[in-house]
Amino acid sequence: MRRKIWLDGAIVEEAEAKISVFDHGLLYGDGIFEGIRFYEGRVFRLGEHIERLFLSAKALLLKMPWSHGEICEAILETIRANGLTDGYIRLVVTRGKGDLGLNPYLCPEPSMFVIASAITLYPAEFYENGLEVVTCSTRRPTPASLSPQVKSLNYLNNVMAKVEALKAGAKEGLMLNEQGYVAECTGDNVFVVKKGEVLTPPVSDGSLDGITRQVIFDLCEELGISIRESSLTRYDIYTADEAFLTGTAAETIPMVKLDEREIGDGKPGPVSLKLIAAFRKKVRSEGTVI
């Protein structure tokens, strides 16, 4: 079955989903995006994702001609058009067509497209046995240059870190900030467990305040597990009892080794497994009906 794409107000065939070569999203990475999951006919945390999209737009002075409700309906329409009940949404808003200069005010109107598709970020065995991760030399940009809370199309920093990880034979790479503290992985937030307490870097250390990250805070409260933000170094991960990663695409996945050091006993730990099970239950029982 050929995919159908929502593009600027209409559902079109994948082959017809085209943007201009003068689009500033293509030329300069001038745009924003959201990755959203849907499970068993429900879109998980749709409102939170669209709220974050509008915050990213505001930070970039990108005027949105669509309302919150219109974007939600575009997402639901795209899923229905593709006959899907489980999958992944990629929602992209670009500055739109302009000229070859940087001036964003020469782009008269933004462009938006929505893709609905299946996704498998990591093979199933990694969710059972855990990921081996390496530290990348590529650092996260300082928040003084571009806030990590803006989900912009400028992902080259993450791409190059991902290349490092893959070249080293790992599926994921850990990224540090300029001060040497843990920021996040190339596409995931990082959590460790020490003496039963869950720790994760504050967003001020360079991580995105991920939607799934927030779900973990909610689940810890529901399950009576202590959780707090704390600046982390690689040493803190090396010596942790457990570790796991979270992200919309990755969901929740154990991390069992960093830079050849086994974390804990080198297997997914009980706290991680408890949170992973609770997460899987939550995403299949909550959400906006398609």
DSSP-derived letter for residue 27 is H
Q: Is 257 a catalytic residue?
A: no
Beta strand residue intervals within the chain, DSSP E: 4-7, 10-13, 31-39, 42-43, 87-94, 111-117, 131-135, 172-176, 182-185, 189-194, 197-200, 227-229, 242-247, 251-258, 261-262, 288-289
**C-alpha closest to that of 11 among 118, 153, 85, 112:** 112
Q: For residue 131, give Cα distances in angstroms to 73, 122, 172, 213, 254.
A: 36, 9, 8, 18, 6
111-132: burial string, b at 16+ Cβ within 10 Å, e else: bbbbbbeeeebeeeebbeebbb
Cα dihedral: 119, 123, 127, 132 (round 10):
-120
**Which neighbouring-strand residues pair with 10?**
7
Give the SS3 label for residue 146. Answer: coil
Which of these is catalytic: 151, 162, 171, 257? Answer: 151
Active centre residues (catalytic): 151
